[in-house]
Structure 1
């Protein structure tokens, strides 16, 4: 692993940053206020090859890895134009299909995911399961050559802009009788598949939804991968999810820090820029340190994942998500505080990040569940849940 990025990676950062600043936070804010989607930004990012940079070249992708995809989301977020569905569509769904899908599934879905013409959502969380994915009640059963799905999902992002949802369900193991995970591609226009928006207290172009899956009938080829290896296939998508969540948190923290430092240089009280005072300068410097540490953790996780070290990537991705979430919350809070009352004014571009920054600690996995994982997997402590 090199701490110096290649020329291609540097050029990618520059190009993505230019695209992000072309749109910026005012674009996202207006879209959220008007109940609209970031269609223009999403489509342009797709045409430029940014959305599918991690997907195989033979299916229209860039042939790079999770490092490059996380780089894209970090730079967009640092420009105030982060795209939440990048965490879901190319990172989770695109990765799982490219690694475990059939040739037909790859040809059907990956080119569109790569160029942005297809968006795929991901459905795992349930009302009564939460962080306990072993308690999922959405089930799949065979009916001749078809499958029938039943269940509920909640807090599923971007279903209204997706053509399909990759649903995590469970099916009976014919040998043991126990339920085992299974992944299915469910078109959003499938009969008996319905979704309802959840009213959220933060403004975002991407909405959250509850899914109602009642006797949804699917063809045999809706199943992704092997019936006997779905747990491994599921985690192949969850590590990229954590890496990309880290990228969005880090980019958002960079955006907030840039706002705060610019304000601290310009704002004068008693004829002195407020940034000259250690009470302002030191907390911002500490935020910078913590952002850079989180970024190193994220880059390590992406490197391990791209190297094929799934177990090493799991630990690293969880730690990166923890560090990035903490750095993001702290930096947004400090940026608002640096602005004083102006931090709560919409025109300064920070107040909407207060609610969004809390999400960095909660989703897609809470910091407490990350600490549970580290305690058990890395410290060898007894399982507590």
Structure 2
């Protein structure tokens, strides 16, 4: 593994940064205040090919890997306008379909992921199950008249349903041979009769909203089942490591943005004829946060490298480590930036107080810090399972 980026990766990073820099944090906050969406940023990033960078070339994508998609997610966030739907749509949904979808599903969806003309939400969490797939109660059963599948259940904290075209829904379906329930995923267009959703009022200000989604005997055709009846867990797991890697990248970018704002303020703000950044009480927290963010970025690159190399066992551990490290680093980076600003840290115009809730969420979603530690304890350290 070489931590030095190739010329192509460096060009991708600088190009994405330049594009996102035209928008910035004020753009994001204005959309949040007015109820708007980041349509212009998404469209321009799609047109440039950035959102489809990891889609296979035969379907019109860039043919690159998770390293490149992580670069895109990080640099857009580093400009102050993180896009959660990059995690949900190109990283999870497109990867699942590319890895586990049928030929027809790939031909139908992947070219549109590649050019950004389609966006897809991902629905796994439930009110009483979180992301524990063993307790998911949303079920899929054969339509009695043979018209396809009937979905029933409730999903919770599903991102961006109001601005996506379809939702990749994790359900449980009955195994005809054993009678047991097993995981399955369906591509459900958001206008499907029987599928409804309502927003969750959030304390975080973001154009990208969260929803409770209801399936009331929603009918989908046979070809909505991703990969067929035998895909099961393999299809589900195809999206989980990319999810953690791109969340880590997105969070690293947000941390970099916060640090840049804190550092700039510490250089410019003068008290008693001295820039406040000359005082160790201001400088050391920012320096410590920088170290932590750089370590998290290296962990994220390592996880993406394992994933692209096809070592999914190593990628599983590394992706969890990266996501954990990025969340902790981002929380500390935002805290240091806010503290460096003093009272101005909580003023909207300075662009750091608005990040407090966003980075705190990274400790919780898409998998909590505690569940990552459980995973590491069990799988990396060989300790007895605690849950």
Compute the TM-score of the two structures, normalised by the length of structure 2: 0.98
Match of 1:11 in 2: 11
Partner of 1:205, secondary structure, is coil
Is the 1:43–1:115 contact (alpha carbons within 8 Å) kept by the matching residues of 2?
no
Match of 2:288 in 1: 286
Match of 2:62 in 1: 62
Partner of 1:129, secondary structure, is coil
Unpaired runs of at least 5, structure 1: none
Match of 2:127 in 1: 127
Match of 1:84 in 2: 84
Between the aligned partners of 1:325 and 1:258, the Cα distance in structure 2 is: 17
1:33 CA displacement: 0.5
Between the aligned partners of 2:383 and 2:178, the Cα distance in structure 1 is: 29
Is the 1:138–1:170 contact (alpha carbons within 8 Å) kept by the matching residues of 2?
yes
Matches for 1:241-256 after TM superposition, within 5 Å: 241-256=243-258
1:113 CA displacement: 1.4
Between the aligned partners of 2:125 and 2:166, the Cα distance in structure 1 is: 16
Is the 2:54–2:63 contact (alpha carbons within 8 Å) kept by the matching residues of 1?
yes
1:345 CA displacement: 0.6
Between the aligned partners of 2:199 and 2:79, the Cα distance in structure 1 is: 28
Partner of 2:265, secondary structure, is helix
Match of 2:168 in 1: 166
Matches for 1:167-316 after TM superposition, within 5 Å: 167-316=169-318
Is the 1:236–1:310 contact (alpha carbons within 8 Å) kept by the matching residues of 2?
no
Is the 1:246–1:320 contact (alpha carbons within 8 Å) kept by the matching residues of 2?
yes
1:84 CA displacement: 0.6
Between the aligned partners of 1:116 and 1:65, the Cα distance in structure 2 is: 17
Is residue 111 of structure 2 the alignment partner of residue 111 of structure 1? yes
Between the aligned partners of 1:53 and 1:10, the Cα distance in structure 2 is: 14
Match of 2:338 in 1: 336
Between the aligned partners of 2:365 and 2:328, the Cα distance in structure 1 is: 12
Between the aligned partners of 1:127 and 1:381, the Cα distance in structure 2 is: 29
Is the 2:133–2:183 contact (alpha carbons within 8 Å) kept by the matching residues of 1?
no
1:289 CA displacement: 0.5
Is residue 384 of structure 2 the alignment partner of residue 382 of structure 1? yes
Structure 1 residues 142-165: Cα deviation after superposition (integer angstroms, max 9, x where no partner)? 122511111100100000011100
1:244 CA displacement: 0.5
Unpaired runs of at least 5, structure 2: none
Between the aligned partners of 2:44 and 2:237, the Cα distance in structure 1 is: 30
1:357 CA displacement: 1.2
Between the aligned partners of 2:51 and 2:221, the Cα distance in structure 1 is: 28
- What is the total number of aligned residue pairs between the two structures? 385
Matches for 1:37-76 after TM superposition, within 5 Å: 37-76=37-76
Between the aligned partners of 2:109 and 2:147, the Cα distance in structure 1 is: 22
Between the aligned partners of 1:105 and 1:132, the Cα distance in structure 2 is: 26
1:130 CA displacement: 1.1
Partner of 1:361, secondary structure, is coil
CA RMSD of aligned residues (A): 0.8
Is the 2:102–2:228 contact (alpha carbons within 8 Å) kept by the matching residues of 1?
no
Compute the TM-score of the two structures, normalised by the length of structure 1: 0.99
Is the 2:158–2:211 contact (alpha carbons within 8 Å) kept by the matching residues of 1?
yes
Is the 1:13–1:75 contact (alpha carbons within 8 Å) kept by the matching residues of 2?
yes
Is the 2:119–2:164 contact (alpha carbons within 8 Å) kept by the matching residues of 1?
yes
Match of 1:349 in 2: 351
Is residue 150 of structure 2 the alignment partner of residue 148 of structure 1? yes
1:227 CA displacement: 2.2
Is the 1:156–1:209 contact (alpha carbons within 8 Å) kept by the matching residues of 2?
yes
Between the aligned partners of 1:253 and 1:114, the Cα distance in structure 2 is: 28
Runs of 4+ aligned structure 1 residues displaced above 4 Å come to none
